[in-house]
């Protein structure tokens, strides 16, 4: 790094380098130039494509590559990137994001002009369909088997204001000041993958910080391309999605609500996984074998958490 920058962009890669090529190309075209890029490779198993950092080099963008020796999870890798960052503001960004030319400039300007401590932006998929990027904190009813969907609280439609307040924003795009990040002591690496964004925002609210989305800039998110490139990734991702709910319940629910929450999550996922595992011995279908592996991983993780 040549000098301190206003903004540090932290990107965590798992096993799919291709999306990062597009992200780097869009970063090279930003109207804002006062930023650095820190890419943390979370022990990916795929070879790094030749010349992937070329767009950053050609645009004279300060960048560094950190190779982590094992996959410690999304939250832990983000913390590693943050430790190396010099910026006054930190932007945690998925590798499967594409940013419009004025995206960084607009997002940072909105952050600086408003009373907000954690900010995300509007997102759409490659087909131009809007994606939900925030919501309300889950209560015990949200985890009820079969009925949980009825208790999901959808965010209100964005207003004309620059900032739309929400309980939490998606970890795919998170802008936060360095001081605020340090006050929160970073991401909680007890969350391997999923729910770490909800947890970060939960802790922010407890410290009277504000969390919001802005629709002043809308970024493209190729959801899922960065974490599910093979069977092992899918098993890890699906298992983490379930285990993260147990981690969140253990952290924020007490007494009977905690016990009920854990039971709800287990009843919601275990029967389907057990049935698929039994069927996999009779029907050699790939998806059934996958669920058998997820069940084994899930039960092992539950045992480790005891």
pLDDT in tens, 243-298: 999 999 999 999 999 999 999 999 999 999 999 999 999 998 999 999 999 999 99
Could you tell me the pLDDT band of residue 228, with boundaries at 50, 70 and 90?
A: low
* Angle subtended at Cα 173 by Cα 172 and Cα 174, rounded to the nearest 5 degrees: 120
CA quadruple 28, 81, 190, 41: dihedral, nearest 10: 70
Beta-strand (E) ranges in the chain?
A: 7-13, 35-42, 63-68, 89-93, 97-98, 118-124, 130-131, 134-135, 164-165, 168-169, 173-177, 211-221
Largest distance between two CA atoms of the chain? 62
Predicted confidence at residue 293, as pLDDT, reads 95
Query: What pTM was estimated for this model as a whole?
Result: 0.90
pLDDT in tens, 130-153: 888 889 999 988 888 766 555 555
- CA-wise closest residue to 16 among 95, 126, 83: 95
Could you tell me the pLDDT band of residue 231, with boundaries at 50, 70 and 90?
A: confident
Could you tell me the pLDDT band of residue 226, with boundaries at 50, 70 and 90?
A: low
Q: Which of 179-193, 222-236, 262-276, 291-305 has the lowest mean pLDDT?
A: 222-236
| Mean pLDDT of the chain, nearest integer | 89
DSSP for 106-124? Answer: HHHHHHHHSS-SEEEEEEE
Q: Is the pLDDT of residue 221 over 70?
A: yes
DSSP for 211-237? Answer: EEEEEEEEEEE-TTTTT-SSHHHHHHH
Predicted confidence at residue 50, as pLDDT, reads 73
Distances in Å between the Cα of 238 and the Cα atoms of 227, 259, 299 are 11, 22, 13
CB 210, CB 117: distance < 8 Å:
yes
> What is d(CA 265, CA 245) in angstroms, rounded to the nearest whole number?
7
Q: What contacts 172, CB < 8 A, 6 or more positions away?
A: 93, 94, 97, 120, 123, 133, 221, 223
Domain parsing of the chain, residue ranges: 7-221, 231-305
The superfamily in CATH containing domain 7-221 is Spore Coat Polysaccharide Biosynthesis Protein SpsA; Chain A (3.90.550.10)
Q: Is the pLDDT of residue 220 over 70?
A: yes
pLDDT in tens, 44-81: 766 676 788 999 999 999 999 998 778 888 999 999 99
CB 237, CB 228: distance < 8 Å:
yes
């Amino acid at each position: 790094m040549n000098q301190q920058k206003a903004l540090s962009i932290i990107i965590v890669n798992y096993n799919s380098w291709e999306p990062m090529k597009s992200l780097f190309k869009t970063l090279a075209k930003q109207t804002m130039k006062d930023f650095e890029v820190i890419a943390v490779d979370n022990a990916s198993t795929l070879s790094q494509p030749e010349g992937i950092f070329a767009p950053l080099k050609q645009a004279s963008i300060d960048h560094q590559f950190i190779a982590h020796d094992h996959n410690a999870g999304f939250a832990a890798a983000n913390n590693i990137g943050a430790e190396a960052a010099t910026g006054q503001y930190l932007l945690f960004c998925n590798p499967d994001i594409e940013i419009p030319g004025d995206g960084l400039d607009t997002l940072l300007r909105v952050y600086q002009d408003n009373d907000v401590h954690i900010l995300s932006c509007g997102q759409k998929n490659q087909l131009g369909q809007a994606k939900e990027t925030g919501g309300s904190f889950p209560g015990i009813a949200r985890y009820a088997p079969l009925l949980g969907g009825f208790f999901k609280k959808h965010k209100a439609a964005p207003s004309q204001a620059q900032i739309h307040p929400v309980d939490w924003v998606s970890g795919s795009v998170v802008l936060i000041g360095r001081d605020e990040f340090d006050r929160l002591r970073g991401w909680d690496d007890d969350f391997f993958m999923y729910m770490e964004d909800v947890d970060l925002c939960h802790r922010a609210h407890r410290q009277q910080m504000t969390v919001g989305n802005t629709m002043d800039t809308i970024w493209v998110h190729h959801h899922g391309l960065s974490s599910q490139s093979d069977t092992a990734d899918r098993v890890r991702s699906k298992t983490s999605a379930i285990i993260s709910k147990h981690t969140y319940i253990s952290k924020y629910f007490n007494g009977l609500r905690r016990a009920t929450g854990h039971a709800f999550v287990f009843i919601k996922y275990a029967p389907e996984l057990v049935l698929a595992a039994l069927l996999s011995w009779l029907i050699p279908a790939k998806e059934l074998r996958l669920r058998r592996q997820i069940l084994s991983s899930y039960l092992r993780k539950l045992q480790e958490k005891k």
